[in-house]
């Protein structure tokens, strides 16, 4: 079985679209050596044990996806809400490339998880560099520390980076809406912070940005899509589905239906263009059977986009019109993806500006502390 696993890891590495140096670093650390024997493959039900179904465990480990290694912070729950995972390999490679990690660098990782990412970073920085990783969950940190034996990685079971230490690059493996000042304080001027960010704490989409430290501020482009679990200090709690139990009012239709919009790849750009709005997808009865809709919520205002392009909603804010205008701008600009957007965060971290180069637009996102 060890030979089979090693062969699967070799195949995984060969599939990565990245630089030779990053590919070699992945090759040095087989994924199966970092994934625990118990994982959580489904949103409900029991965990999967390697000894019970080794074939399924292996397929999960050597898929292209993330692998959940802890649910509900290690406790029970009605659903298996991921609270620690091994990120998707291609996402890891893209984040490492965006940070420009190389020989001799000092790198800080926020969120150790399995330790696999930290091990890969340790190979890239080499003997002259150093990797420090912080993990908020003591149990997760302890297991990762064991797996990282011999790599030179220092693991701290804390929520924030060590005081007074400065790094060439910071890579966060958890999503935030408010960038902690401790993260930017740990970054040297000119260094790069790579992190999943979204303007609303309840958003499922958390696109990844590479931000350069420019004195008091950080700014840079979004480099790819992402869907990361939240930093535990910034979870939004349970939020109601917008509009439930409220009388809908017909609004102006959109030029595109919900299913087409979801499949267009424009959901994340739209999220970035709609300050203060929760934007997501869900299922609602439509023409006698379940239909996939796009929903919006902001305070007491709400709107649903249906599969046929009709829009219903309510409240004082015209969310349907805002969605239609944002989509019109995207369509006229040729439907630019998330890579055409950039993020600017000032010193106070109370306001974040999203800029789109495709049509010279920007949006201010207010973020509460």
Residues that are catalytic: 87
How many Å apart are CA 353 and CA 367, to the nearest integer?
A: 11
Residue reference for tokens 């007074």: 164
How many Å apart are CA 161 and CA 172, to the nearest integer?
A: 11
Q: Which two tokens stand for residue 62?
A: 């050597």
């Amino acid at each position: 079985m060890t030979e089979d696993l090693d062969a699967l890891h070799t195949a995984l590495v060969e599939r990565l679209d990245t630089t030779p140096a990053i590919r070699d670093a992945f090759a040095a650390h087989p994924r199966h050596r970092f994934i625990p024997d118990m994982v959580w493959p489904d949103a409900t039900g029991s965990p999967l044990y390697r000894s019970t179904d080794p074939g399924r465990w292996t397929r999960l480990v050597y898929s292209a996806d993330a692998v959940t290694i802890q649910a509900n912070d290690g406790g029970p729950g009605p659903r298996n809400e991921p609270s620690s995972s091994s990120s998707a390999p291609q996402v890891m490679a893209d984040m490492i490339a965006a940070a420009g990690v190389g020989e001799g660098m000092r790198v800080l990782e926020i969120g150790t998880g399995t330790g696999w990412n930290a091990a890969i970073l340790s190979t890239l920085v080499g003997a002259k560099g150093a990797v420090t990783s912080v993990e908020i969950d003591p149990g997760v940190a302890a297991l990762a520390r064991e797996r990282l034996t011999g790599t030179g990685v220092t693991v701290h079971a804390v929520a924030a980076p060590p005081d007074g230490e400065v790094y060439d690059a910071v890579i966060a493996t958890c999503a935030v809406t408010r960038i902690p000042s401790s993260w930017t304080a740990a970054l040297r001027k000119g260094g790069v912070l790579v992190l999943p960010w979204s303007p609303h704490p309840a958003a499922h989409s958390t696109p990844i940005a590479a931000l350069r430290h420019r004195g008091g501020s950080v700014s840079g482009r979004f480099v790819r899509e992402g869907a990361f679990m939240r930093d535990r200090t910034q979870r939004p709690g349970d939020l109601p589905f917008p509009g439930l139990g409220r009388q809908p009012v017909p609004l102006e239709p959109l030029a595109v239906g919900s299913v087409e919009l979801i499949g267009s790849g424009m959901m994340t750009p739209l999220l970035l263009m709609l300050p203060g709005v929760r934007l997501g997808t869900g299922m609602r009865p439509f023409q006698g059977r379940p239909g996939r809709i796009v929903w919006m919520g902001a305070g007491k205002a709400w709107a649903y986009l249906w599969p046929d392009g009709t829009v219903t909603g309510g409240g004082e804010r015209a969310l349907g019109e805002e969605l239609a205008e944002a989509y019109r701008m995207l369509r006229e600009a040729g439907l630019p993806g998330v890579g055409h957007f950039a993020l600017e965060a000032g010193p106070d971290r109370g306001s974040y500006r999203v800029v789109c180069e495709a049509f010279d637009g920007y949006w201010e996102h207010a973020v509460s502390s």
